Amino acid sequence: MSQETGRATGQELSAITVAMVTLHRRYYGKGPTEAKTYAINDTILCILKGGFTTVEQTLMADGKTEEVERIRRSFQKTMKDRFIDVIESTIDRHVIAYMSQVNTDPDVAVELFMLEPHAEKLLGEHEQSFDGEEVVEV
């Protein structure tokens, strides 16, 4: 975080975006094709689009969206510490709350991190598209 302005740097937000996509690809078997990370006051918000696996898409096509959402929510709880570690190690702020939600139509996941209050409020955003299977840090 830039000490002069309180803004989360583009480099920090890019690192968060890439790390979130990398975790999704590694542990879910498929990652998002688009991702945005926002820093607003004491909150980090990651919006991830296009990440359902072939199995999940097949289940949803068969009308089993509730099952897919339930499995995703359960797995997000398993991933909680990994997601929090990305935020804390990148911006050097303590996460006091983590919330995650998945939506099947449109295909989007949201990861929300509330940070310990700090005198310097954050502000910034980063957006990135991901082609193919390789995640390249910028």
Looking at per-residue pLDDT, the higher value among 10 and 128 belongs to 10
pLDDT at position 132, please? 61
Give the global pTM: 0.82
Q: Which residues contact 94 (CB under 8 A, 6 or more apart)?
A: 88, 115, 116
Q: What is the DSSP string of 46-63?
A: EEEES---HHHHHHHHTT
pLDDT at position 3, please? 45
Q: How far apart are CA 69 and CA 74, in angstroms?
A: 9
* pLDDT at residue 86 greater than cutoff 90: yes
Q: By the 8 A CB rule, do 36 and 17 touch?
A: yes
Q: Could you report the per-residue pLDDT of 13-54, keeping only the tens digit for each?
A: 999 999 999 999 999 888 899 999 999 889 999 999 998 999
pLDDT confidence of 97, banded at 50, 70, 90?
A: very high
pLDDT confidence of 5, banded at 50, 70, 90?
A: very low
Q: Provide the residue count of the chain.
A: 138
Q: How far apart are CA 1 and CA 122, in angstroms?
A: 8
* pLDDT at residue 122 greater than cutoff 80: no
Q: By the 8 A CB rule, do 21 and 115 touch?
A: no
pLDDT at position 138, please? 41
pLDDT confidence of 88, banded at 50, 70, 90?
A: very high
pLDDT at position 133, please? 55
Q: By the 8 A CB rule, do 114 and 84 touch?
A: no
Strands 108-115 and 43-49: antiparallel
Helix axes 54-61, 65-91, angle to 10 degrees: 140
